[in-house]
Amino acid sequence: MKNKNLNKANMAKNDEFYTQLSDIEKELGHYQEHFKDKIIFCNCDDPKESNFFNYFALNFEFLGLKKIITTHFEKEKQSYKLEIVKDVNKDGKINKLDTIKTPLKQNGDFRSPECIEILKEADIVITNPPFSLFREYVAQLIGYNKKFLIIGSLNSITYKEIFKLIKDNKIWLGYGFSGGNAYFKTPNYKDFARGVYSKETGLVKFRNVTWLTNIDVKKRHEKYIFSNKYSSEEYPKYDNFDAINVNKVINIPTDYKDIMGVPITFLDKYNPEQFEILGNEYDLKIKGGRGYINGKRMYSRIFIKNKKF
């Protein structure tokens, strides 16, 4: 499931992708009950371009927030943080007009000691972190035991460090983008081909990104209904591993009790009460690095078992 545009961005450390307010509203609407009396930290933000701070500023009272903080990154100079805590201007409302701007001593990098101190204070981290630093970014959140909702490449799911967290039920997929399409604003639009970048909207389109979180939501407990029945003809076993191959998530057989190899898109339907994730080819040390059927190398798979058996 490779996306050349995101891979290119990774290699070039081109991490300036600004999320649309409509996408933020759509996803965060599923988590509203978790925000009350919480300190929200957007630690990879740009107040001039990013809509994460805007969303929380507009909805501060509605969500019942305790505080919203954002830090801005500057490559080679000191930066600043923005906070909303209370009705500073005494107009009876708490909104963007009550923003307090405070200079930072450092450049606002999420790894800086200054930003780590803010992270310790926060309850939930919500942002679109740098694609090129995703492993390091997630490791920091896990290390400080923080709740989070972030955007990442679907390719990141296959990273050894990230997949282990998914397997151990420490991270899962959020609700995702409409039609699987995410649209971002970027100052580096010239790097993208026609069809990816639209002159009309000024946005680039990616099909290979998703929301990742460790906040418990209803989607994670929805039981997916399958209707297919197992047959050896439709579900052949791998030559080099004792499991059947399932080409499409929708075709997972409801009556098979042993190991199944399913597409990575299974994670969008994954309910830990319904299925157990055993691992991928790396975890299970499958000879040849992939499953083979009749000598043909198959696509990468996640190996699962149905918990009802």
Indicate whether 152 pLDDT > 60.
Answer: yes
Q: If pLDDT is split at 50, 70 and 90, which confidence band does 197 have?
A: confident
**pLDDT per residue over 111-122, tens digit each?**
999 999 999 999
CATH label, 4-220, candidates 3.30.160, 3.60.21, 3.40.50, 1.10.3470: 3.40.50
> Which pLDDT belongs to residue 238?
98
Cα dist. 168→171, 213, 276 in Å?
Answer: 8, 13, 10
Of 290, 289, 258, which Cα lies nearest the Cα of 275? Answer: 258
pLDDT at 228: 95
- Mean local confidence (pLDDT), 189-210: 76
Calpha distance 152→112 (Å, rounded) = 21
- What local confidence, expressed as pLDDT, does residue 5 receive? 45
Measured distance CA(136)–CA(19) in Å, rounded: 21
The pLDDT confidence band at residue 236, using thresholds 50, 70 and 90, is very high
Residue 281 has pLDDT above 50, yes or no: yes
- Mean pLDDT value of segment 9-22: 65
Three-state DSSP class for residue 178: helix
pLDDT in tens, 53-79: 999 999 999 999 999 999 988 888 999
Residue range(s) of every CATH 3.40.50 domain in the chain: 4-220
